[in-house]
Amino acid sequence: MSKTRVAPMSRKDIRNYANKIRTLLGYDITDFIHAPKLFDALSVIFSEEGLEFDYRILPDEDKIFEDKEEAFTDMSSGIIYIKESVMEQACRRSFRRGAFTLIHELGHYLLHYLQPDVKLSRVSDDVYVPPYCDPEWQADTFASEFLMPFEMCKTLNSEDIRQMYHVSRKAAEVRESKIDEELLR
């Protein structure tokens, strides 16, 4: 077994990047992001720039997915594969994981696939990988910062975050907790 390591990125670096992307796409810090519509828009925007943003929605039982995997980004092609049920959740604004999962995969695409200087490397399971070098932590952090902007969320409680940004209760609670930790430093 092995795990993956990437170049280090701090939470603040990822926050700044997420905020730049939000701004480029015309989102304000108070705006809820409808992830499926964003994916469609990115397909058009990238195409107009001669680039490709490709995602595929597949049946939940497709063998391409590992056990309990909701979606993944193929780092060799940049294609994002999404389970049908996850996309349905995200489309319904159902306060479930769907939107976070999609934006997590967008984080992999933007932070790890599109960046020519970012290289994924495999390390054995017994090697410690600090969170800031873990691609999963980076993608989770991107999703959190992108969906629930720090500047707005630092004034909200978890229920307000959940209602404003249509995220799961757990995502909102984790966001509030991480912000509280950061503000206490």
> What whole-number distance in Å separates Cα of residue 106 and Cα of residue 104?
5
> Considering the entire predicted model, what is its pTM?
0.94
- Residue 14: Cβ within 10 Å count: 23
> What whole-number distance in Å separates Cα of residue 158 and Cα of residue 171?
9
Burial class (CB in 10 A: 0-12, 13-18, 19+), 60: exposed
The pLDDT profile of the chain, 185 residues, written as one tens digit per residue, is 457 889 899 999 999 999 999 999 999 999 999 999 999 999 999 999 988 999 999 999 999 999 999 999 999 899 999 999 999 999 987 768 899 999 999 999 999 998 866 666 677 777 788 999 999 999 999 999 999 999 999 999 999 999 999 999 999 999 999 999 999 97
> Phi/psi of residue 72, each to 5°?
-160, 160
60 touches 83 (CB < 8 A): yes
> What whole-number distance in Å separates Cα of residue 185 and Cα of residue 112?
29
> Phi/psi of residue 75, each to 5°?
-75, -15
**Token couple for 15:** 């926050």
**Token couple for 72:** 């993944």
> Phi/psi of residue 80, each to 5°?
-100, 125
**Token couple for 152:** 């707005």
Q: What is the pLDDT of residue 126?
A: 76
Q: What share of the chain is helix, strand, coil (3-state, %, to 5)?
A: 50, 10, 35
